[in-house]
């Protein structure tokens, strides 16, 4: 920043500090409680233990829930990339009649809240006996994921100069060679970014999975919701232990994601000075 500190700086940093303290309080409460023997009307719990983690591992059948979550997320990422990237390529490179309508169709699932289309979608999936299965959960999660991939990839492809492809063609490259040796290497960073973001979104997607999942196809976040809303049956510490497991896995995903994606450059790519 240039020049003297501007007025309001203290207010801004104060807001940030307040938000972070609040956040630390929220997360800290859950983490502390998950290690507590019991915690009633005191600053800190009466004793510490790790048994809630073991208990939630066994009681909630965490291994199978984690396996389901992993399978769903990987399938959703794979299918949405396979369907989304070609579509993004066509949208970025071609101007054709009906493009605006098609773009609107691809944008709507992002602009409409999941519960709105989730309820009719779940009804349809029940009709075809797909609800409650893993296929149903994957299909439901594709609805926001494919448009998301298109949304991320279209500007990314637009910034790849089409002359590169034209030059390769002129030098006699076949379509296949253009795809594998020119486009693929250029597209990989964007696909990686889109894929990781879809992964994070799918693992965290509550509404759609909640509406379409059955007992064998619950992902972690849905299992967590059931354990919270069934509070009283289970010790709260045990629920908190599971919430910590959930957050830790999301955090690992996020840290991986941030290695590949700079979140502040999702919308506009502005050239940074070299050496940044």
User: Of residues 83-142, which lie at the interface with other proteins (CB under 8 A)?
Assistant: 83-84, 86-87, 89-91, 93-97, 102, 105-106, 108-124, 139-140, 142
Q: Which of residues 24-43 bind other proteins (CB under 8 A)?
A: 25-30, 33, 40-41, 43
In the complex with other proteins, the residue whose CB is nearer, 25 or 54, is 25
H and E: helices and strands count for the chain: 12, 0
- Specify the stretch interacting with other proteins by CB under 8 A; choose among 63-71, 75-83, 157-165, 176-184: 75-83
Q: Which of residues 158-197 bind other proteins (CB under 8 A)?
A: none
Question: Backbone phi, then psi, for 50, in 5-degree steps?
Answer: -115, 10
Q: Which of residues 45-74 bind other proteins (CB under 8 A)?
A: none
Nearest to 221 by CA among 65, 76, 53: 65
Closest distance of CB 72 from other proteins, Å: 15
Q: What is the DSSP code (8-state) at residue 84?
A: H
Extended strands (E) in 116-249:
none
Residues 6+ apart with CB under 8 A from 4: none
Query: Does residue number 276 form part of the binding site for other proteins (CB under 8 A)?
Result: yes
Closest distance of CB 54 from other proteins, Å: 19
Distance CA(2)–CA(126), nearest Å, equals: 60
- Rg (C-alpha) for the chain, rounded Å, is 23
CB 222 within 8 A of CB 137: no
- For residue 101 the two structure tokens come to 């309508």
- Specify the stretch interacting with other proteins by CB under 8 A; choose among 62-70, 160-168, 188-196, 243-251: 243-251
- Specify the stretch interacting with other proteins by CB under 8 A; choose among 23-31, 66-74, 158-166, 179-187: 23-31
Query: Does residue number 1 form part of the binding site for other proteins (CB under 8 A)?
Result: yes
Residue 208's region, left for phi above 0, alpha for psi from -120 to 50, else beta, is alpha
In the complex with other proteins, the residue whose CB is nearer, 28 or 46, is 28
**3-state secondary structure string across 191-226:** HHHHHHHHHHHHHHCCHHHHHHCCCCCCCHHHHHHH
In the complex with other proteins, the residue whose CB is nearer, 6 or 176, is 6
Distance CA(56)–CA(159), nearest Å, equals: 48
Closest distance of CB 46 from other proteins, Å: 13
Closest distance of CB 237 from other proteins, Å: 10
In the complex with other proteins, the residue whose CB is nearer, 185 or 276, is 276
Binds other proteins by CB under 8 A, chosen from 66, 77, 146, 183 = 146
In the complex with other proteins, the residue whose CB is nearer, 185 or 273, is 273
CB 36 within 8 A of CB 237: yes
Distance CA(141)–CA(77), nearest Å, equals: 10
In the complex with other proteins, the residue whose CB is nearer, 147 or 190, is 147
Query: Does residue number 207 form part of the binding site for other proteins (CB under 8 A)?
Result: yes
């Amino acid at each position: 920043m240039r020049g003297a500190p501007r007025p309001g700086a203290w207010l801004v940093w104060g807001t940030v500090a307040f938000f972070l303290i609040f956040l630390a309080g929220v997360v800290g409460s859950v983490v502390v409680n998950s290690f507590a023997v019991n915690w009633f009307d005191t600053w800190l719990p009466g004793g510490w233990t790790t048994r809630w983690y073991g208990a939630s591992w066994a009681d909630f059948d965490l291994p199978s829930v984690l396996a389901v979550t992993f399978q769903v997320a990987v399938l959703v990422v794979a299918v949405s990339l396979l369907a989304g990237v070609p579509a993004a390529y066509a949208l970025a490179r071609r101007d054709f009649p009906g493009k605006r309508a098609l773009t609107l169709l691809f944008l709507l699932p992002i602009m409409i809240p999941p519960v709105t289309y989730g309820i009719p979608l779940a009804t349809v999936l029940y009709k075809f006996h797909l609800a409650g299965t893993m296929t149903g959960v994957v299909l439901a999660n594709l609805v926001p994921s494919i448009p998301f991939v298109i949304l991320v990839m279209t500007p990314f492809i637009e910034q790849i100069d089409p002359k590169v492809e034209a030059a390769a063609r002129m030098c006699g490259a076949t379509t296949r060679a253009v795809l594998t040796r020119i486009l693929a290497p250029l597209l990989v960073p964007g696909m990686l970014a889109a894929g990781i973001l879809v992964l994070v979104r799918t693992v965290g997607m509550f509404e759609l999975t909640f509406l379409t999942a059955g007992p064998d196809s619950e992902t972690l976040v849905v299992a967590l919701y059931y354990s919270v809303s069934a509070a009283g049956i289970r010790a709260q510490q045990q629920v908190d232990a599971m919430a910590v497991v959930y957050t830790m896995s999301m955090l690992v995903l996020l840290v991986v994601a941030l290695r590949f994606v700079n979140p502040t450059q999702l919308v506009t790519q502005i050239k940074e000075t070299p050496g940044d």
